[in-house]
Amino acid sequence: MKRGWLIVVVLAAGCAQAVSLDPPAPEGAAATACQALSAKLPATIEGLARTETDPVSPYTAVWGAGEIALRCGVGRPASMEPTAEVSDVNGVGWFADPARPTLFTSVNREAYVEVTISANHQPGSVLVDLADPIKATIP
C-alpha cells in the first residue's frame, strides 16, 4: 500500500505545470545581478519546491503553485514615498506596500527584487531565506 502511494506522489509531482509570471526587463548591471541571483536562489522555501515559470526567465522564480513569487529587476515601487518605512531583514531592506500587504520589494540594492507571498506563509521567514542570496549577488 505504501509503495503505491509513493508512485502516485511521484507522478503528481512530475505533472506540475509552470506558473505564469510576467518577467521584468532589467538592463545593464541590474540584469547581470538578477541573473546571478537566479542561480543562487534556494530550491525550497517554507517547504515549497521551486517551480518553473512561464515564460522561463532568469528574472523570475516561483515556489509552490505560485504561493511565493519573485521578480528581479522591477522598477521602484510607485507607492514608495521618500519617507516610507523600510524594514531590514538580515541586511536587506524591504518595502512593504501598504496597498498590497502580500508584496515586498528589496530597495537598497542595485536591482529591485519584488516578492509576493501568499497569506499562507510567514513573510519574515521567506524574506530571511532570500536575504543571503540577494546579498551575495546584488550589490
Residues 106-138 pLDDT 10s: 998 999 999 999 999 999 999 999 999 999 999
Distance CA 6, CA 89 (A): 38
For residues 68 and 46, is the Cβ–Cβ distance under 8 A? yes
Task: Count the residues in the chain.
Answer: 139
pTM to 2 decimals? 0.86
Three cell numbers, residue 132 = 543571503
pLDDT of 52 strictly over 90: yes
What's residue 46's pLDDT?
A: 94
pLDDT of 49 strictly over 90: yes
For residues 115 and 60, is the Cβ–Cβ distance under 8 A? no
Distance CA 33, CA 9 (A): 36
Identify the CA nearest to 110 among candidates 74, 78, 84, 71: 74
What's residue 57's pLDDT?
A: 97
Q: How confident is the model at residue 17 (pLDDT cuts 50, 70, 90)?
A: confident
